[in-house]
Amino acid sequence: MSTGRGSVAGSARVLVTGAAGRLGTAVLAELAGQGLAVTALVAEDPGPLRADRVVVGDARDPVAVADALDEVTAVVHLAALASPEVAAPDVVFATNTQATFVVLNEAGRAGVRRAVLASSLSVTGLPFARSTPRPRPAYLPLDVALPLQIEDPYALSKQVDEATAAMMHRRYGMTAVALRFPFLGDPDRLAGHAARLARDPAVGASEVWSYLDLRDAARACLLGLTAELTGAPVLFVAAPETLVSIPTRELLAAHLPDVPCRAELFGCEVAIDLAPARTLLGFSARHPYPPS
């Protein structure tokens, strides 16, 4: 396993792809708060960003990515089409998987040995499923061993992204952490989603009513860069409680009654196994909704 640009201390420079997006801007703020030098790769000029270098280019373009990787020691890869509904299916799949392959492969070729990439709870195949009856998880809490039931191009792209990260670890010795994010938002966006779920809790069943504040999501990315770990771990990250005030056992009894639950869930505890993220990253959410 070769050594390379793998440190995020001292003279570290972090490349953030998709830096102008909702999560990207939160990650830029988190990295800036740590005093880290940041290169932002964006598809088009978005105006001021909290980065001391901005490269305008496509994350699928090896030339643009190689330029953005100048002096970079670690990568946070967020550039992606964010759902199967924003473009044609082939475009969603091809765009996301090509960007992940190009960014991680060029980073590996450049000697970068630490990367974090945005996966999604949607990789389970449940949130965007349209078949009838709707698929249910094989069991709860959700964990990385859960059988996937993918039927949409976005979920499939995230499955391929996680496999790409594992491949880059084997090829280059890169530590590549894939974070399976749930619904993300600032307090205003979370408030809107919470209101929708209060009106119709069934809407949130496919995501087990989970969420994460963008500030916590950004900190999870930072921990993915700094934690003492190797390999290509895939980790669920989420707030420890749901976005609904109804106790979780009542929600499951009403909306997922036929799904076996392997853990005792108390109060509004989220039905996701968050222990690996706590163990490997030292991550636990700090920003509950509503604020305590």
- Tell me: the pLDDT tens digits for 125-158? 999 999 988 999 999 999 999 999 999 999 999 9
Residue 74 pLDDT exceeds 90: yes
The 10s digit of each residue's pLDDT in 256-267 is 999 999 999 999
Of the chain, the percentage scoring pLDDT greater than 70 comes to 96
Q: Confidence band (pLDDT; 50, 70, 90) for 23?
A: very high
Q: What is the 3-state secondary structure (H, E, C) of 208-233?
A: CCCCEEHHHHHHHHHHHHHCCCCCCC
Say how far apart CA 81 and CA 61 lie, in whole Å: 16
Q: What is the mean pLDDT of residues 4-33?
A: 87
162-190: buried (b, 16+ CB within 10 Å) or exposed (e) per residue? bebbebbbeebebbbbbbbbbbbbeeebb
Q: DSSP class of residue 291? A: -
Structural contact between residues 12 and 53, judged by C-beta atoms closer than 8 angstroms: no
State the pLDDT confidence band at 5, using cuts at 50, 70 and 90: low
Domain ranges across the chain: 13-186+211-240+269-281
Say whether 155 sits in a helix, a strand or coil: helix
Residue 235 class from Cβ within 10 Å (0-12 exposed, 13-18 middle, 19+ buried)?
A: buried
User: Mean pLDDT over residues 69-87, rounded?
Assistant: 97
Single out the residue of 189, 284, 190, 268 nearest to residue 235, CA to CA. 284
Segment 58-80 mean pLDDT: 98
Give residue for tokens 């959410």: 285
Q: Where are the beta strands (DSSP E) in 134-174?
A: none
What is the fold of 13-186+211-240+269-281? Rossmann fold (3.40.50)
pLDDT of the residue at 226 = 96
Count other Cβ atoms within 10 Å, centred on residue 268: 19
Q: For position 2, what pLDDT does the model report?
A: 40
Q: Does residue 1 surpass a pLDDT of 50?
A: no
| Average pLDDT across the chain, whole number | 95
Rounded Cα–Cα distance for residues 196 and 202 (Å): 10
Q: Is the pLDDT of residue 103 over 80?
A: yes
Q: How far apart are CA 133 and CA 125, in angstroms?
A: 14
| Between residues 8 and 191, the one the model is more confident about | 191
Nearest 5°: the CA angle 230, 62, 50 is: 70
